[in-house]
């Protein structure tokens, strides 16, 4: 099943394993005539890159985006944009020990069951390294959306049990990139950082929530019945490793409200279609599965063994997941924007 593509009119197809020579993507359906600002793309990559702070894995990757096609003299041509990101700092030897052990919470066992074999080096295709491609593709889409003056930002809303209290519409997006955790409230950010450092010291990990705000959304994005904009966003977010939940702004909380109250609350999407008001949604990430503690695990013989994780990993993926959430949002919006044009006669 061709399952490594996302999008309808603007379609991203991705490939690559954690320890292969490169990962990459093909972005097909990207309109011609868009200036491709490679510095901007690279800046987006920096935000997701490992090793950017003490909170993240120490794997060192330049994560440079090599464009192979679809761009001529810095402008998109309408041809598919293919790009590569080379893998450099693979330490496959770290993973040799995992050839016969299934890490808890990972794809290891289920890939063996589904495919009859697996590339066990760093999780192979299931590695979160795959998200670098999403960020690159999202950066291209952001260049497209800028033409519509659309504003889009994500930020860490919670880490473990520390929650931001500022309402999304009051968040100052300038504050987001000023701390290592990407939370716009500096006090909360400090608390979050301490919490992550504590988890790291305990050889444990943390989850959290990422909030996204979109402003200046063109009216009419999204389509009934199965291409609703909120459904596409949920689909995109739930395709990210470790995501376990999605809600439109206060979606779960509002199940306890009355209709008369809820009707006064704006979500930016009516019946699956953008209505021009700001869109806010929230994404739940489970704690990182890979932890340095000794854990019980199953091996390929079906025996229970004790596992001490080698490999490098983040005690908390949330700070690096912010640009990933933004990228998937940009992919959904750009696709919806191009789709909406196809029905205008």
Nearer to a copy of itself by C-beta: 174 or 238?
A: 238
Whether the bond into 318 is cis, omega within 30 of 0: no
Joined tokens for residue 42? 């690279």
Nearer to a copy of itself, 174 or 268 (CB): 268
Closest to a copy of itself by CB, 115 vs 174, is: 115
Quick one: 49 or 129, whose CB is closer to a copy of itself?
129
The pair of structure tokens assigned to 332 is 């959904």
The tokens of 300 are what?
């390929």
How far, CA to CA in Å, does 342 sit from each of 219, 223, 332?
A: 15, 12, 16
End-to-end distance of the chain based on CA atoms, in angstroms? 35
Strand partners, 212: 154, 281
Q: Find the shortest distance in angstroms from Cβ 282 to a copy of itself.
A: 8
Minimum distance between the CB of residue 174 and a copy of itself, rounded to whole angstroms?
26
For residues 340 and 221, the answer to whether their CB atoms sit within 8 Å is yes
> Which residue, 33 or 302, has its beta carbon nearer to a copy of itself?
33
CB-based contact 335:10 (threshold 8 Å): yes
Name which of 234 and 333 has its Cβ closer to a copy of itself.
234
Nearest approach in angstroms of CB 92 to a copy of itself is 11
With H, G, I as helix, E, B as strand and everything else as coil, classify residue 328: helix
Q: Phi first, then psi: what are they for 308, rounded to 5°?
A: -115, 110
Q: How far is the CB of 98 from a copy of itself (least distance, A)?
A: 14
Whether residue 118 contacts residue 124, with contact meaning beta carbons closer than 8 Å, is answered with yes
CB 278 to a copy of itself: min, Å: 15
By CB neighbour count within 10 A (0-12 exposed, 13-18 middle, 19+ buried), where does 113 fall? exposed
**Considering Cα of 76, then 79, then 80, then 84, what sign does the dihedral take?**
negative
Q: Taking the complex as a whole, how short is the minimal distance between the CB of residue 215 and a copy of itself, in angstroms?
A: 17
Q: Is the CB of 56 or the CB of 289 nearer to a copy of itself?
A: 289
Closer to a copy of itself by Cβ: residue 152 or 210: 210
In the complex, the smallest distance separating the C-beta of residue 264 from a copy of itself, rounded to whole angstroms, is: 8
> Do 163 and 171 touch, CB atoms closer than 8 A?
no
Does an H or E element contain 96, and which?
Answer: helix 93-96
Q: Which residue has the tokens 């100052």?
A: 172
- Closest separation between CB of residue 312 and a copy of itself, Å? 15
255 or 304: CB nearest a copy of itself: 255
Question: CA-CA distance, 19 to 125, in Å (whole number)?
Answer: 9
CB of 277 to a copy of itself, least distance (A): 10
């Amino acid at each position: 099943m061709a399952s490594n593509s996302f999008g309808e009119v603007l379609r991203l197809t991705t490939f690559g394993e954690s320890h292969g020579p490169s990962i990459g993507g093909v972005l097909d359906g990207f309109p011609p005539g868009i200036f491709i600002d490679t510095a901007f793309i690279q800046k987006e990559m920096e935000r997701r890159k490992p090793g950017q702070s003490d909170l993240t894995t120490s794997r060192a990757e330049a994560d440079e985006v090599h464009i192979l096609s679809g761009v001529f003299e810095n402008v998109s041509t309408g041809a598919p944009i293919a790009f590569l990101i080379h893998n450099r700092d693979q330490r496959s030897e770290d993973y040799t020990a995992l050839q016969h052990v299934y890490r808890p919470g990972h794809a290891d066992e289920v890939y063996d069951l589904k495919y009859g074999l697996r590339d066990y080096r760093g999780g192979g295709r299931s590695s979160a390294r795959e998200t670098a491609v999403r960020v690159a593709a999202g950066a291209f889409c952001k260049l497209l959306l800028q033409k519509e003056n659309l504003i889009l930002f994500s930020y860490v809303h919670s880490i473990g049990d520390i929650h931001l209290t500022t309402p999304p519409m009051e968040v100052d997006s300038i504050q987001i990139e000023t701390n290592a955790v990407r939370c716009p409230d500096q006090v909360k950010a400090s608390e979050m950082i301490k919490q992550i450092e504590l988890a790291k010291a305990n050889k444990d990990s943390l989850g959290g929530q990422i909030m996204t705000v979109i402003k200046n959304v063109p009216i009419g994005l999204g389509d009934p019945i199965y291409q609703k904009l909120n459904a596409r966003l949920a689909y995109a977010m739930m395709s990210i490793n470790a995501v376990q939940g999605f809600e439109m702004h206060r979606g779960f909380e509002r199940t306890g409200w009355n209709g008369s109250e809820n009707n006064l609350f704006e979500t930016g999407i009516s019946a699956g279609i953008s209505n021009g008001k700001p869109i806010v949604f929230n994404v739940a990430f489970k704690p990182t599965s890979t932890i340095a503690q000794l854990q019980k695990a199953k091996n390929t013989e079906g025996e229970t063994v004790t596992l001490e994780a080698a490999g490098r990993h983040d005690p908390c993926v949330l700070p690096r997941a912010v640009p990933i959430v933004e990228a998937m949002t940009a992919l959904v919006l750009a696709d919806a924007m191009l789709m909406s044009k196809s029905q205008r006669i």
